Amino acid sequence: MAQTSDLPFWLRPTGLVVVVGLLTALKLFAAANAYIVEDEAYYRIWGLYPALSYYDHPPMIGWWITAGQVLFGDTVFGLRAIVVLSGVIGSLALWRTARILFDARTAGWAVLFLNTSLMIGIGGILATPDAPSVVFWGLTFWALAELTVSKNPNWWLVVGLMAGLGLLSKYSLLFLGAGIVLWLLWVPDARRWWTSWQLWAGGALALLCFSPVLYWNHAHEWASFYKQFGRAGSSGYTAKYIFEFLGALVGLLNPLIALLAAGGAAILFKALRARDSAASLVLLTALPFLCYLLYHSLHSRVQANWPAPLFPAFAIMAAVFVASLGSDRTIWRKAAMAGIAVGVLVAALVQFHAVYPITGQLARKDPTFQLRGWQEIGASLNELAEQERAAFLLTTSYGLNGQADFLMKDRLPVFQTTERIRYIMMPDPDETLFEKPGLYITEKRRNKAGDLERAFDTVEELAVLERKVKGVPLEELVVYRVEGLKGLVFEPLSVR
């Protein structure tokens, strides 16, 4: 078993602190200076109105954003600060997990592979529910590793707490629970825990943590459960999306690291067949969620961010393979170093590009296109609002509503007339406000201005605003003047 002193500097804890520290500094720079994407703008509203849960997801990312806003204000950095810092906790937990399940060499490689995967290296600044779900999945796995090595049943209480906090982050943590059950059934030495009261107490603790989400759903006709659990199998089988899913998974993991992870999975599978506890823990806890994603891809598109909680396990798989090579300078070890170098280079390039666009020629094919041109849109909206003496701004999509709300904060109240279940945590607006003139903004490709004619006498087009990056058009937004209230502004509340 490799000892820390036998390792090259960059695999030792000190070297890892330097590497992770530099990458975190880069993320902090991008987090403070790159503009926000639509989903982040939407979740920002959650932070302003903390609640037990929300329509789309459990509440953890909203609570994290609230904490960031308290510390750093209602700013871009405040929105993302806790997310970036959580990545450091995730790396520490991964190092400890791999160290006690395998050895120090595997732990060092795992941390490097996770931080240079494109999903974590680039997406690690975004304030979305994936950030806490990755961290708490990793912390749950760490507690399971401590349990496996120490044989101390009290670790089940930590497992339950971490899993419960994960369930407050995203429903995907339910699949980790299924993986834990598989491990308990498969590994003979693990079956002893079925008679341990701490196992059941840990499960009760997880359920207690999850109870705010259960209560919220009970109070709102299980709206969030219907939305999320109604995805899979809602349409017929198709091969249209599975290769897209696998390609995105390999690409966001980093193709070279993905290749190494496949080799590590093969090594661990041999050990799993022998009922090895560590190998079984890595593979079986990841298996249910991976199977679900594959099943979902046979029906509809899997969003690129969904597999994010599995990335620490993939990093361990890749590390197991490279660590099995020892210190031999084989082609595989060179591939590992190349994968890390590519990950660092791409992450640095994309983070810099997110703040200072290098080119606009890729237009909407640029993965950073959502960040672009919003400040100019905000300036134009403010000018139109003053010109028309507008008292409010209406939208009909949650992404645009979030962006407009951030752009017009402290200037003009912004409301989405549709999907009111998304904003049930907010106080209802004063209906008298809509007796004054207002504005309505919509994407040109999703224009629903005609729907507002039921609510207002006048729906008059004022301007077409173009969102651009370096002079290249990205999107056209149409702004209307609305006046003369004659009916209901908001669609009736519907939870399904």
pLDDT (tens digit per residue) in 382-425: 999 999 999 999 999 999 999 999 999 989 999 999 999 999 99
Q: How many C-beta neighbours within 10 Å does residue 167 have? A: 26
Q: Quote the pLDDT of residue 6.
A: 78
Element (H, E) at 391: none
Q: What is the mean pLDDT of residues 437-462?
A: 92
Mean pLDDT, the chain, rounded, equals 93
Output the DSSP codes for 354-369.
HHS-S-STTGGGSTTG
- The pLDDT of residue 232: 57
Give the whole-number percent of the chain exceeding pLDDT 70: 97
Q: Classify residue 77 by burial, with Cβ atoms within 10 Å: 0-12, 13-18, 19+.
A: middle
Q: What DSSP line would sit under 257-318, residue for residue?
A: HHHHHHHHHHHHHHHHHTT-HHHHHHHHHHHHHHHHHHHHHTTSPPPTTTTGGGHHHHHHHH
pTM: 0.94
> pLDDT band at residue 458, thresholds of 50, 70 and 90?
very high
Q: Residue 127 pLDDT more than 80? A: yes
Distance CA 363, CA 458 (A): 35
User: Using an 8 Å Cβ cutoff, are 235 and 299 in contact?
Assistant: yes
Nearest one of 84, 53, 58, 90 to 71, comparing CA atoms: 84
Residue 128 has pLDDT above 90, yes or no: yes
- Residue 460, H or E segment: strand 456-469
Residue 74: exposure state from Cβ atoms within 10 A (0-12, 13-18, ≥19): middle
Confidence of residue 3 (pLDDT cuts 50, 70, 90): low
Please choose, from the candidates 110, 54, 159, the residue with its C-alpha nearest in 3D space to the C-alpha of residue 422: 54
Query: Exposed (0-12), middle (13-18) or buried (19+): which is 218, by Cβ within 10 Å?
Result: exposed
Edge-to-edge strand ranges of the sheet holding 472-485: 414-416, 393-395, 438-443, 472-485, 456-469
- Rounded mean pLDDT of 362-368? 88
Residues of the chain above pLDDT 90, percent: 82
Nearest-5° Cα angle at 466, 463 to 470: 150
Give the least confident one: 28-37, 104-113, 161-170, 357-366. Answer: 357-366
Place of tokens 């009922």: 275
**What span, in angstroms and rounded, lies between the C-alpha atoms of 136 and 128?**
14
pLDDT exceeds 70 at position 496: no
What residue type is 226 in one-letter code? Answer: Y
Please state the φ and ψ torsions of residue 329, each to the nearest 5 degrees.
-85, 65
Confidence class for position 233, pLDDT limits 50, 70, 90: low
Q: Kindly tell me if the per-residue pLDDT of 345 is higher than 80.
A: yes
Sign of CA dihedral 129, 58, 60, 290: negative
Which residue, 367, 368, 372, is CA-closest to 473?
A: 372
Instruction: Give yes or no for residue 467 having a pLDDT over 70.
Output: yes
- Alpha carbon distance 32, 84 (integer Å): 10
Instruction: Tell me the two tokens of residue 286.
Output: 């990841």
What pLDDT, on a 0 to 100 scale, did the predictor assign at position 410?
87
Mean pLDDT of 314-320: 97
Helices 76-101 and 104-116: angle between axes, nearest 10 degrees: 150
First-to-last CA distance in the chain?
55
Q: Is the pLDDT confidence value at 237 over 90? A: no
pLDDT of residue 325: 86
Distance CA 54, CA 46 (A): 8
Name the nearest CA neighbour of 314 among 375, 252, 247: 252
Check if the beta carbon of residue 168 is closer than 8 Å to that of residue 213. Answer: yes
Structure tokens at 435: 């007796």
Reading phi first (left if > 0) and then psi (alpha if -120 to 50, else beta), residue 254 is in left
* Banded model confidence at residue 249, pLDDT cuts 50, 70, 90: very high
Query: In this structure, are residues 366 and 469 in contact, taking their beta carbons and an 8 Å threshold?
Result: yes
Residue with tokens 């994603």: 293
If you average pLDDT over residues 124-143, what whole number do you get?
96
Average pLDDT (369-385) is: 95
Q: What is the pLDDT of residue 228?
A: 86
Residue 234: the pLDDT is 57
| CA R_g for the chain | 24
Q: Are 140 and 132 in contact (CB under 8 A)?
A: no
Question: CA 215: distance to chain centroid?
Answer: 24
- φ, ψ dihedrals at 391, nearest 5°: -105, -10
Instruction: Assess whether pLDDT exceeds 60 at residue 362.
Output: yes
Task: Please report the pLDDT score of residue 157 as a whole number.
Answer: 98
239 pLDDT band, cuts 50/70/90, is confident
Residue spans of the domains in the chain: they are: 4-355, 370-485
Query: Rounded to an integer, what distance in angstroms lies between the CA atom of residue 224 and that of residue 332?
Result: 45
**Element of type H or E holding 421:** none
Instruction: Using DSSP, state whether 35 is helix, strand or coil.
Output: coil
